[in-house]
Amino acid sequence: MKIKINLSVLITIALLIISIIISSAANKDANHTDEAYTTYASEDEINTNEKEMRGLWVSFITLDMTDSDMSFEAFRKKFDKIVNTAVNYKLNTLIVQVRPFCDALYKSEVFPYSHILTGTQDKNPGYDPLEYMCKTAHSHGLEIHAWINPYRVATSTTPKKLSNNNPYVNNPDIGMELDSGIYLNPAKKASRKLVCDGIKEIINNYPVDGIQFDDYFYPSDIKDEDAAEYNTYKKAIGNKIPLSVEEWRMQNVNILIAEAYSIIKCINKEIDFGISPQGNIENNKDLCADIKSWSEIKGYVDYICPQMYYSTENPSLRFEDNLLQWKEFEYHSDIKVYIGLGAYKAGTDADKGTWLNSDEILANELSLLREYKYSGFMIYDYSAFESKYAKEELNNLLSVID
């Protein structure tokens, strides 16, 4: 077992060294001038001079235009309301889902237009949503991060039909079909290239302030759909002791994360790259999400934002207990750690009904994350601001934001 762990570490370090060399060659001022080993920071040293992140996630469900006449005017009206809400609640960043299903809410040469714009994948909506969102957010003093689901092509029900030019339709070899849906295969080099080409396209064509991956990596219902790739890996290493299939899958994800980070910094070192994994640390193992490496080793992410969508009294996992668990990592000196707040649960019977015990849960959670010196928060998601059940909770949150 010790040899297997050492091999995993060596692979990770090798990947990071390659990433550093590529980044330095393209841009001598890029962040990869740091040595390829972990530099730790104390809690008080992490981002003490940075402004507090006050983010708001805007999901593809919120941006679904199929319940309207699907015109630019309808989109403009919807997004303007989102922006005004963010400003009124003293938030400073929108995290907008622009690639939910191997598709695009922007003009793309890599992915088809998303079905949420017109009801049909790859049907041109007649306007560029991301162009308008960047312009409007920035004109109101908000930053905008492009939120990407890196691997998902389709769930079992959405979208109903993939377009003829969907990358998976053109080349099914890059994907895997499971009961839960269709996903790009993380073990495939062509899959990684597709994701990274999409990232390059966004940051070359739009003035986004960040790129964010969400918590969907390997699907939890995967069995042996990637057995052929795993066997190829074992043959390639010869007589060496192979990684377990779980370790190998985690390395596949790490390769993509390191490549995405390097590409972003080569093009524009000012653009942040972040990941929002599940808050429950154990759950990340099922998704092959290596949150420890991402948090502790330079060259993966600029920020990490665990989704702590629990009440302060959740019997399964209390919010404060989860804050303390995430404090156990030895974060590298350049990383920012934000906390995802589950506003969508406010006023509901979620978490065994504990969200009904108070309308100051989010306000108390903000106070706690500040007490533990986290660098800010992101609210999931905008739909909560449209809910009558969350109104008092959000107003109480507003009262403590400043």
What tens digit of pLDDT does each residue of 115-170 get? 999 999 999 999 999 999 999 999 999 999 999 999 999 999 999 999 999 999 99
Q: Where are the beta strands (DSSP E) in 59-124?
A: 93-99
Q: How far apart are CA 10 and CA 18, in angstroms?
A: 12
Structure confidence at residue 18 as a pLDDT band (50, 70, 90)? very low
pLDDT at 12: 52
Helix axes 129-139, 72-88, angle to 10 degrees: 30
Higher pLDDT, 50 or 49: 50
What tens digit of pLDDT does each residue of 75-121 get? 999 999 999 999 999 999 999 999 999 999 999 999 999 999 999 99
Higher pLDDT, 392 or 40: 392
In angstroms, the Cα distances linking 113 to 97, 107, 122, 166, 249 are 13, 7, 4, 9, 30
Tell how many helices (H) and how many strands (E) occur in the chain. Answer: 13, 13
pLDDT above 70: percentage of residues in the chain? 88
Q: Which run of H or of E encompasses 253?
A: helix 245-267
What is the average pLDDT score of the chain?
91
Higher pLDDT, 330 or 10: 330
pLDDT at 402: 84
User: Do residues 380 and 344 make contact, with C-beta atoms less than 8 angstroms apart?
Assistant: yes
Q: What is the mean pLDDT of residues 365-385?
A: 98
Q: How far apart are CA 196 and CA 350, in angstroms?
A: 37
What's the whole-model pTM score?
A: 0.88
Class level of CATH domain 2-46+54-304: alpha beta
pLDDT at 290: 98
